[in-house]
Amino acid sequence: MNLLRLLSMAPAQASDRDPVLAPDRPPYRLLALGGASGVASVVILAMVNSAAEEIMREGADSVDWLLAGITAVASIVFLFSQIWLIRDTAARLEGGIDRMRARLLELLRIADYRQLEQIGQAQLFQNVTQNSQVISQNSHLVAIGLQSLVLIVAAMAYLLWLSTLAFFLVVAVIVVAGGIYAAMGRDLGAEYARNMGNEERLFETATDLLDGIKEARMSSARSHDLRASFAQVAAQTRQTALRVHGMVFRQFIFGEIAIYFLLGVVVFLVPLYTQKISGDVQQVTTTVLFVVGPVGLVLQIWTMLMSAEAAATRIFALGEQLAAISDPALATPMEAGLPAAFKEIRLEQARFAYPAPAGEAPFIVGPLSFTIPQGRITFITGGNGSGKSTLIKLLTGLYRPQGGELLLDRRPIVAFRLPAYREMIATVFSDYHLFRRLYGVPLVDQAEADELLRWFELDGRVAIRDGAFDTVELSVGQRKRLALIVALLEDKPIYVFDEWAADQDPHFRAKFYREILPALKRRGMTIIAVTHDDHYFDAADHRVHLEIGQARIVNGEGQG
């Protein structure tokens, strides 16, 4: 079970250099506590049986203080060992969840960007947050289930000492019933997995509804289709959930019947085959009754833990999927930084192809060969679908060329140099995310920050305090200005802007091309900007124009 795998992922110790990769530790403490609990439960059961036998033989005229004292001591040992067992089990499981969540985030950090795009945000969000929460909410059930298993093992050992025949008959019933119960559990687990897949699609549809509420309000047809799609996925989720509930109920009823059958076997069948058991039938029955409670609890908990097991399975599956697409450049230590005073960036016969369905031709960008000189302004232009965004991702190292090379001063940007190369670049993509806190800018020069806010005409609207913007509730164009301010505070030698001016008003669009870009150029920065603003093409030193994945230099340096 994957829940037991999580139990082995104990919280990392202070001595571990990397808690994410810290070695798993066997649960020796849990085993010791379980053993103490089991021995104490057997002692209690034996003492109760002995006292009952003595009362039946001699009457209840006196108290056997020795038996009472042993029972009291065993009860105290049982109490504290059970408390610590449940507490430590829950702690280890929560520690395992924390380790696995950290591992997923680390794998996300080093995953190949292109392949990560194909996984989808909904699956990533559900596994990092929701599925972890499902396991955490059921962690106490794992602890109680382990506690019950310890009691069952201890009681069965005592039953073996009382009657070999009774022991093997009970084991036979448990094995047969357990096999049927496990088969039902496998079907239930598969149904839980389908239900989680439906919930993932439901999350995607709900996200469309929330993110596109303005667009839905503006079109009754779109609103109707969106509502119908949501209703369809919700209906599928409801039907799967109903099947899950039905299977849970059938499994629970079967468990109850198995327990009653077990009692019947001991009380009615065993005495028929051995005369010796007839005198000990009360002790055997007491022992079986002692087992019935934990067995019933384990059966109920097993059913309830199916959702947590399904969640754990999906988390481990995502971990394996992310591990398989890790970017070697990010999974190894970064090479020392590349020199900021470079001469040129060059693509040499670089090529990238998107996968296509069978029978269709893939969209191919390249082969591309051109040079971007240091300290110059380069515009990338072209129609929609011409490959501009792909080219930007190739130039920034987010995509690796499937053919050809990316070079910095004739030095190929191979895997081990890629992180250092990316560190040279500050970006504002068209689908940028504006962080409220200035992550990666540990020391903000307040005077510089205030000057940038004035330069971008945001003073009085926004302030930077304690390494964060005091608000990001601004217009789309103003938020994009904040993103550019963050990029400038990073102080990198290369800046990449993807349709930055598209959301600016005419005044600030002109300011961007006529004032901001020339100022950055005077500081020696290399500017690469995707743009459709043909009125400002003259602001560039040279322009790379794309047409259906092919590039040509329109003016200035370089060769197409």
Check pLDDT > 60 for residue 20: no
Q: Is the pLDDT of residue 552 over 70?
A: yes
> Minimal CA–CA distance to 265: which of 176, 175, 166?
166
Question: What region, left, alpha or beta, does residue 32 occupy, with left being phi > 0 and alpha being psi -120 to 50 degrees?
Answer: alpha
pLDDT digits (tens, 9 = 90+) for 425-443: 999 988 888 888 888 787 7
Q: Where are the domains of the chain?
A: 92-326, 333-555
Q: Quick check: 371 and 553 in contact, CB under 8 A?
A: no
Q: Can you tell me the distance from the alpha carbon of 304 to that of 311, in angstroms, rounded to the nearest whole number?
A: 12
User: What is the model's pLDDT at position 381?
Assistant: 92
d(C-alpha 387, C-alpha 394), whole Å: 10
Tokens of 271: 């005495």
Q: Considering Cα of 460, then 461, then 466, then 467, what sign does the dihedral take?
A: negative
CB 290 within 8 A of CB 155: yes
Angle between helices 276-304 and 139-162 (to 10 degrees): 170
**Which pLDDT does position 15 carry in this prediction?**
45
Element containing residue 443 per DSSP (H, E): none
Tell me: cis bond preceding 367? Omega within 30 of 0 counts.
yes
Give whole-number Cα distances, 521 to 455, 515, 555, in Å.
Answer: 16, 10, 18
Mean pLDDT of the 268-277 span: 59
β-strand 344-353 against 364-373: which pairing, if any? antiparallel
Which is more confident, 267 or 519?
519
At residue 557, the pLDDT reads 43
Fold for domain 333-555? Rossmann fold (3.40.50)
Q: What is the DSSP code string of 124-138?
A: HHIIIIIHHHHHHHT
Mode of pairing for the β-strands spanning 377-382 and 526-530 = parallel
pLDDT tens profile 57-88: 655 556 667 777 888 888 888 888 878 877 77
Q: Tell me the C-alpha distance between 374 and 493, whole Å.
A: 9
User: In degrees rounded to 5, what are phi and psi of residue 384?
Assistant: -65, 135
- Quick: pLDDT tens for 482-529: 999 999 998 899 999 999 998 899 999 999 999 999 999 999 999 999
Range with lowest mean pLDDT among 45-59, 312-326, 480-494: 45-59
Tokens 């990073």, residue?
490
> Quick one: pLDDT at residue 417?
83
Strands (E), 399-509: 403-408, 411-412, 425-428, 464-465, 468-469, 494-498
Residue 19, Cβ density class (10 Å: 0-12 exposed, 13-18 middle, ≥19 buried): middle
SS3 of residue 272 by DSSP: helix
d(CA 182, CA 446): 64
Residue 188 has pLDDT above 90, yes or no: no
Helix (H, G, I), strand (E, B) or coil at 219: coil
Q: Which two tokens stand for residue 19?
A: 């808690």
Q: What is the pLDDT of residue 3?
A: 65
Between the alpha carbon of residue 320 and those of residues 108, 313, 494, the distances in Å are 11, 11, 35
* 214 compared with 38, residue with greater pLDDT: 38
More confident residue, 309 or 21: 309
Residue with tokens 């960036």: 345
Which residue reads 């559900």 in tokens?
126
Mean pLDDT across the chain, nearest whole number?
A: 78
Extract the tokens encoding 193.
Answer: 């997995």
For residue 539, count other CB atoms closer than 10 A to its CB: 20
- CATH number assigned to the domain with residue range 92-326, chosen from the 4 options 3.40.50.720, 1.20.1560.10, 1.10.599.10, 1.10.287.610: 1.20.1560.10
* pLDDT beyond 80 at 393: yes
Paired sense of beta strands 377-382 and 425-428, if any = unpaired
Structural tokens at position 327: 């970017």
Tally the C-alpha atoms within 13 A of residue 78's C-alpha that lie toward its C-beta.
19
The neighbour count for residue 47, using CB atoms within 10 Å, is: 21
Q: Is the pTM of this model over 0.85?
A: no
| Rounded Cα distance, 406 and 492, in Å | 19
For residue 227, the one-letter residue type is R
549 — alpha (psi -120 to 50), left (phi > 0) or beta?
Answer: left
Q: Could you give the percent of the chain with pLDDT greater than 90?
A: 16
